[in-house]
Amino acid sequence: MVRVRFAPSPTGFFHIGGARTALFNWLYARHVEGIFILRIEDTDRERHIEEATDIILSDMRWLGMDWDEGPEVGGDYGPYFQSQRDKIYGEYLEILGKKDKIYERDGAIYFRVSQEPQLIDDLIRGPVYRMEEKDFVIFRSNGTPVFHFVNVVDDAAMEISHVIRGEDHLSNSSKHVELFKALGAPVPKFAHIPLILKTNGSGKMSKRDVGALVEDYRKNQFLPEALRNYLCLLGWSPKDDREIMPIEEVIRLFDLCDINKNNARFDDKKLAYMNAAYVKNMPLEQFFDKGKSLLSDFNAEAHYVDQVLTICQEKLRSFGELNHFVSYFFDENFDYDKGAWSDLRKRDPVLRIGEFLSATEGIEDFSEQKLEEMVGKLAEARGVKTGDYIHGVRFALSGRTVGPSFYKMVVIMGRERVVRRLRRALVELEKWQ
């Protein structure tokens, strides 16, 4: 039975690198129908463990990862918080004592290394040999156990079969292999996954980098499926050029031996592209639900909101932009974009807006088709391009030169609102000419 674990330290943040490590563990467990364990490594008692743990649990759930054993779900190998496993650590320390593998110095307990090269059986990198030269502390002089010790004891006690973790731990693995052997426990298989490098600059991504935290993406309304999909592709690929793919398909194909050896640089542009693709392909019902919750501040009629959302889906790249993208639909006091105006003014916008306004009075049916015909006739009669009307009127109605499909926008706004806004624009833009 494959048993893997993700063992974060509750630092108060859940960063992208940790999320990817968790994801690869989860994918592998689901692929082989094994057990995915979440273990909280809270040996550093100084910190606020409850809140910090909640952040990890919440962000993992947001990304769609569930765990078979761990906090809130329990399991036969608990407790799953290291702070509650002192008794177990004491027992394992005794084993090392009986085998004469440890000694005390300055109040701390040291582990005696063998000074022989240790084999790290790595599924991604192949066999790696590394020798640990110096004895190291496993219990501090204040009586608390150290990471290397608790990590190995827990992996042994929880019968972890595969240790999937970041490559920054590869050098630690020689310590850990020695500990497993000294404890008389089977040495697990290892899979050291490549690191995620900063988008700009050198070195691995750290908590302080922009966009390094999962919560940043939640706040900015990224779709979790998109972030997850992107993370799957950082160091792994289906090898057939597919990129946007359902998680079930990733689970079906995922295997440790297909993970890349080299580090990957985080590319926020590609993530943004993926998020846009997910937004565009969202089922309309889901798009409505998500959109409505974000637009609740506008206090607009539900039907109007639905209509606005419907015409915006194809243009929207991120829900983080939704509020701004549609604000003028609901707010009569929108501003006119001065930069856009300077590009527009050579098209005689005030003249076109006036003509458009007069013409709308002549059509009974305020529909896309009629409006399009109307603009076509106007343009022909005046010898200008239809775009001149569209640009000018869009600006009058929204203060911008970009937005959803023009005729759809006009129809949804409705005659009354359109007329009111065009009149206001004529008065204000007159001064700008």
Q: Residue 109, SS3?
A: strand
Helix, strand and coil percent figures for the chain, each rounded to 5: 55, 15, 35
Nearer residue to RNA within complex by CB, 94 or 267: 267
- Cis link prior to 79 (omega < 30° from 0)? yes
Determine the residue type at 222.
Answer: F
Rounded Cα–Cα distance for residues 26 and 64 (Å): 10
Smallest distance from the beta carbon of 379 to RNA, in angstroms?
8
Greatest Cα-to-Cα distance within the chain, rounded to the nearest angstrom: 100
Nearer residue to RNA within complex by CB, 70 or 403: 403
Smallest distance from the beta carbon of 1 to RNA, in angstroms?
26
Smallest distance from the beta carbon of 378 to RNA, in angstroms?
12
From the candidates 181, 204, 207, 370, which is the catalytic residue?
207
Smallest distance from the beta carbon of 308 to RNA, in angstroms?
14
Is 207 among the catalytic positions?
A: yes
Rounded Cα–Cα distance for residues 377 and 392 (Å): 16
Nearer residue to RNA within complex by CB, 84 or 184: 84
Nearer residue to RNA within complex by CB, 31 or 315: 315
Two tokens, residue 161 = 């079969």
Q: Residue 129, SS3?
A: strand
Which letter, b or e, does each residue of 122-161 get, where b requires 16 or more Cβ atoms within 10 Å of its Cβ?
Answer: bbbbeebebebeeebbbbeeeeebbbbbbbbbbbbbbebb
Dump the DSSP string for 289-340.
Answer: HHHHHHHGGG---HHHHHHHHHHHTTT-S-GGGHHHHHHHHH-TTPPP-HHH
Q: Quick one: which of 228, 231, 229, 170 has its CA closest to 205?
A: 231
Nearer residue to RNA within complex by CB, 129 or 432: 129
> Which residues are identified as catalytic?
207
